[in-house]
Homo-oligomer: A and B are copies of this chain.
Amino acid sequence: MSSDRLQRYLECIAACNACVVSCQHCASLCLQEPDVKMMTRCIALDFDCAEMCSVSVALMAGGSELADAMCGLCARACRMCAEECGKHSHDHCQQCAEACRVCAEACERVAV
């Protein structure tokens, strides 16, 4: 792809990268929480969301024909993870929920 097309994706790539870190970090801290039983859906969605964001970055940076569609699906993963993480008051969950919301919005702008 041209560098112009990459330009269009840079904000979304940055949001996805931040979301990967927040989700992986949140999952690893959730696993250490005393109330881990409450956090299991959070952990599962953290991993899904991190995976989706990671693939979205690869496809956007590589100018894949499927990048926009992948971002559409990634936005769904981010919305689900944001909603679940948002239910928990742990700092890592609240920060992850925020990173997921920012990423969902960036992905939705790309996916339209």
Jot down 20 A-B pairs with beta carbons below 8 A, ordered by A.
A6-B21, A13-B21, A20-B57, A20-B58, A20-B61, A21-B57, A25-B63, A31-B40, A32-B40, A36-B40, A44-B65, A45-B65, A48-B64, A50-B62, A52-B66, A55-B55, A65-B80, A66-B77, A66-B80, A70-B73
The bracket for how many chain A residues form the interface is 35 or more
A63-99 CB contact bits vs B (8 Å, 1 = yes)?
1111001100100110010000000000000000000
A21 to B77, CA, bound (A): 21
Question: Contact between B57 and A51 (Cβ–Cβ < 8 Å)?
Answer: no
Q: Judging by beta carbons under 8 Å apart, are B25 and A62 in contact?
A: yes
Complex Cα–Cα for A107 and B65 (A): 19
CB distance from A54 to the nearest CB of B (A): 6
Closest to A6 in B: B25
Most chain B CB within 10 A, of A28, A52, A65, is at A28
